[in-house]
Chains A and B, each alone.
Chain A
Amino acid sequence: MSDSTTVEQEDALETQEYTLNLGPQHPSTHGVYRARLRLNGETIVSCESIIGYLHRGMEKLAESRTYAQFAPYTSRFDYLAGALNSWGYALAMEKLGGIEVPERAEYLRVIVGELQRIASHLVMVSSMVIDLNAVTAWMYAFTAREGILDLLEEVTGSRMNLNYIVAGGVTEDLPEGFTARAEKTLDELKSRLDDFDRLVSGNEIFLGRTRGIGVIGRDLALEYGMTGPNIRASGERLDLRKDAPYSVYPRFDFEVPLLSGGDSFDRYYIRLLEIHESVKLVRQALGAAPAGPVRAKVPRVWKPAPGEAYAQCESARGIQGYHLVSDGSVKPYRMHLCSPSFVNIGVLPVISPGLTIQDFVSTLASMDIVLGEIDR
């Protein structure tokens, strides 16, 4: 008797779902990303991703610039890991035109590419913790990133949007005394990273916010075609630098970290581990780079034979692919970017139901998306 009364009482307590727009102007959506959430109280019932707020028409723009002129624009796709974007584009151009890259240039590409990867991962871990209001930890990681950006400025002249990796090699050689300064910066980076690790990774509050939150199983990740650290945190060992190596990666001794939890904490922690691996790579490359030219001669007016080329590169966020179609003229007929963040956010509407808003913020931060490459 009492059971049926309780059931009636529960039916009488109706709640009303409401819609909340997270973004596009929001302090923690990592760019102009809009998530339309249907909420019941604080729990998400459904989530709809709405993108396009940063669309700049880059792929159309590529059709009215020559191949070399478009290279500076490629850094603006994933602006946090610009050198890795330029690398992918350079690979596509080299494949299209059959350009050989000198050996020293390959080593320099690895150095700058991995330094850029470190900088990008530092942004990810720090923006994840600042979304959880650990402001001091954010500051430590950004101060560490300043050291890396100073190194990049010494080599390329810019801190961001480097325009250093071009078809045929790199634009300039390393300056004098770079190796010593790089070693010093990498040591300081390690000390700051240790502080960051101590401040965040063992913190019970942080663990409570990220352990078991936003779990992406290995099968789900494979089904949605995720790449990069996100899928490596879910247990699938997929890294282009090991599986389909390009450049001189086979010559280096480095590990690809692998975690199996697939929750937000694993996606955060794997990036810390990857920073350590990248530091190893930079040190090895600095030591092993042979002497020689750094740039192959590419004609100023370059007309590749009609055809197409697709080249992939392991960017900080996943596998980035460039598809170039040439019709024999100086300008590409079509340039398409296959961006990892665009693929990665596809899984968000699947894992969001059941999360609270706070969990959603934490999960979104752990996916590490950059709207520049999603919207192009």
Chain B
Amino acid sequence: MFGIGLVQGLYTTAKRFFMKKVTQRYPEVLPDLAPRSKGSFAFDADACISCCLCSDACPNGVIKVDYSVGEDKRRRLELYRMNLGYCLFCGLCVEACPKSAIVFKTDFDLACFRKDDNLFAWKGPLPRPAAAVQAPAAADAEAVPVAPSGGSPTAAGGGS
């Protein structure tokens, strides 16, 4: 009645007992991730043209682009904010950006102790007009995911 199947099972486990183990000794040994691996984000503020295509593309309203429009009618990036707590890591923003200003990095240890540490912000490259910047208050931290909105222009500029 009981026989071959059980013995074969015992042989299989005994064989695997002596084979090389697959455990990776993290954190002494870091994993070797593929180059395309989606971790957190790298943002190139110089390349950004504040077109807001990324925040339009995002399903969860993660990205908020604060820009100002100068006299030459060109948009200047003031502050680029992302709330990674709501991010799906889908990459729609990376695909949408025409200038590849926002790209994925492969760092994966994004775990943090406080929700505020999920907020990432990059300042724009050019000097900001002193009086006009609407500094994002800490109250902004609870970014409720809304239907995708455009950028929020500052007091100095108009239009969205």
Binding site for B on A (CB under 8 A): 64-66, 68-73, 136, 140, 143, 146, 150, 153-158, 161, 163, 171-172, 175, 195, 198-200, 202-207, 300
Q: Is the pair B95, A171 in contact by a Cβ cutoff of 8 Å?
A: yes
Q: Is the pair B5, A161 in contact by a Cβ cutoff of 8 Å?
A: no
Q: Is the pair A68, B37 in contact by a Cβ cutoff of 8 Å?
A: no
- Write 5 A-B pairs (CB below 8 A) sorted by A numbering: A65-B59, A65-B147, A72-B92, A157-B37, A175-B34
Q: Is the pair B5, A68 in contact by a Cβ cutoff of 8 Å?
A: no
Q: Is the pair A72, B6 in contact by a Cβ cutoff of 8 Å?
A: no
Q: Is the pair B91, A171 in contact by a Cβ cutoff of 8 Å?
A: yes
Q: A69-B59, A199-B9 are in contact. Are A157 and B22 (CB under 8 A)?
A: no
Does B35 reach chain A (CB closer than 8 Å)? yes
Q: Is the pair B36, A199 in contact by a Cβ cutoff of 8 Å?
A: no
Q: A69-B57, A136-B13, A157-B104 are in contact. Are A163 and B91 (CB under 8 A)?
A: yes
Q: How long is the Cα–Cα vector from A258 to B95 in the complex, in angstroms?
A: 42
Q: A64-B147, A157-B91 are in contact. Are A203 and B9 (CB under 8 A)?
A: yes
Q: Is the pair B33, A300 in contact by a Cβ cutoff of 8 Å?
A: no
Does B148 reach chain A (CB closer than 8 Å)? yes
Minimum CB–CB distance from A160 to chain B (whole Å) comes to 10
Does B131 reach chain A (CB closer than 8 Å)? no
Q: Mark B48-61, 1 if CB is under 8 A from A, else 0.
A: 00000100011100
CB closest residue in chain A, given B35: A175
Q: Mark B1-21, 1 if CB is under 8 A from A, else 0.
A: 111111011011101100000
Does B90 reach chain A (CB closer than 8 Å)? yes
Q: A68-B57, A70-B59 are in contact. Are A154 and B34 (CB under 8 A)?
A: yes
* Contact residues in B for A140 (Cβ distance below 8 Å): 16
11 A-B pairs besides A175-B34, A198-B8, A205-B6 with CB distance below 8 A are A69-B59, A70-B59, A153-B36, A155-B36, A163-B90, A163-B92, A171-B95, A198-B9, A203-B5, A300-B53, A300-B96
Q: How long is the Cα–Cα vector from A146 to B22 in the complex, in angstroms?
A: 10
Does B141 reach chain A (CB closer than 8 Å)? no
Q: How long is the Cα–Cα vector from A150 to B33 in the complex, in angstroms?
A: 9
Q: Is the pair B1, A156 in contact by a Cβ cutoff of 8 Å?
A: no
- Please give me the 10 A-B residue pairs with the lowest Cβ-Cβ distance, nearest first: A202-B5, A72-B90, A69-B59, A157-B38, A154-B34, A157-B36, A163-B90, A203-B5, A199-B12, A199-B9
Tell me which of B2, B5, B6, B89 has the highest count of chain A C-beta atoms within 10 A of its own C-beta. B5
Does B88 reach chain A (CB closer than 8 Å)? yes
Interface Cβ pair total, 8 Å cutoff? 83
Q: Is the pair A204, B5 in contact by a Cβ cutoff of 8 Å?
A: yes
Looking at the complex, which one of B6, B22, B38 makes contact with A158 (CB distance below 8 Å)? B38
Q: Is the pair B1, A204 in contact by a Cβ cutoff of 8 Å?
A: yes
Q: How long is the Cα–Cα vector from A153 to B33 in the complex, in angstroms?
A: 8
Q: Is the pair A175, B88 in contact by a Cβ cutoff of 8 Å?
A: no
Q: Is the pair B88, A72 in contact by a Cβ cutoff of 8 Å?
A: yes
Q: A72-B59, A153-B34 are in contact. Are A204 and B6 (CB under 8 A)?
A: yes
Minimum CB–CB distance from A199 to chain B (whole Å) comes to 5
* Contact residues in B for A161 (Cβ distance below 8 Å): 88-90
* Contact residues in A for B15 (Cβ distance below 8 Å): 195
Looking at the complex, which one of A64, A65, A154, A205 makes contact with B36 (CB distance below 8 Å)? A154
Minimum CB–CB distance from A224 to chain B (whole Å) comes to 33
Q: Is the pair A69, B148 in contact by a Cβ cutoff of 8 Å?
A: yes
* Contact residues in A for B92 (Cβ distance below 8 Å): 68-69, 72, 163
Minimum CB–CB distance from B19 to chain A (whole Å) comes to 10
Q: How long is the Cα–Cα vector from A96 to B66 in the complex, in angstroms?
A: 36
Q: Is the pair B12, A175 in contact by a Cβ cutoff of 8 Å?
A: no
CB closest residue in chain B, given A155: B36
Q: Is the pair A198, B91 in contact by a Cβ cutoff of 8 Å?
A: no
* Contact residues in B for A171 (Cβ distance below 8 Å): 91, 95
Q: Mark B89-118, 1 if CB is under 8 A from A, else 0.
A: 111100110000000100000000000000
